[in-house]
Amino acid sequence: MSPHPGRLPFLSGSLTIEHEPGGRRVLCLSGDVDSAVVAEFEARQGRLPVVVEEIDAGAVTFLGSAGLSVMVRYAETGAAAGRLPVLRAASGQVDRLIRAAGLETYFLRTGPTFQPGQKETGSSSTP
């Protein structure tokens, strides 16, 4: 039981939609994105995804299946609207999970990404 009823426990990750200049929306994931982080995000944002232009997962240290599911739902929503979001950045952990799930071609990328056999240097990002 929480020592502070009604207060959310500490979450070690975050999931947000950031609004950038020009009206661009970016789905941002960071830290440990597990089912608790996803539940908190959906409580704030709602379960139905909106169209985002980019996904930034470069600061993710752990991505659970619930977090990957959010990325997939947002990609599907964009594709249905004719605007598949670009994966702006993905940490090595995210890249490995995307490959393991067979989703390499599911997320658009505009620059270099982590490749199997390549030494991992933290995160890969795209301009």
- What are the structural domains of the chain? 13-109 (3.30.750.24)
Instruction: Give the pLDDT score at 122.
Output: 41
Exposure string over 101-116, b if 16+ CB within 10 A, otherwise e: eeeeeebbbeeebbee
* Nearest partner of 50 among 68, 76, 30, 69, judged by Cα: 76
Distance between CA 101 and CA 87 in Å, rounded?
A: 16
Beta pairing class for 24-33 and 13-20: antiparallel
9: pLDDT strictly greater than 50: yes
| Average pLDDT estimate for 35-53 | 94
Which residues have CB under 8 Å from 69's CB, separation 6+? Answer: 38
For residue range 86-113, what is the model confidence (pLDDT) as tens digits? 999 999 999 999 999 999 888 888 755 5
Beta pairing class for 54-63 and 86-91: parallel
Contact 37, 15 (CB under 8 A): yes
75: pLDDT strictly greater than 90: yes
Q: Please give the helix or strand (H or E) that residue 93 lies within, else none.
A: helix 92-100
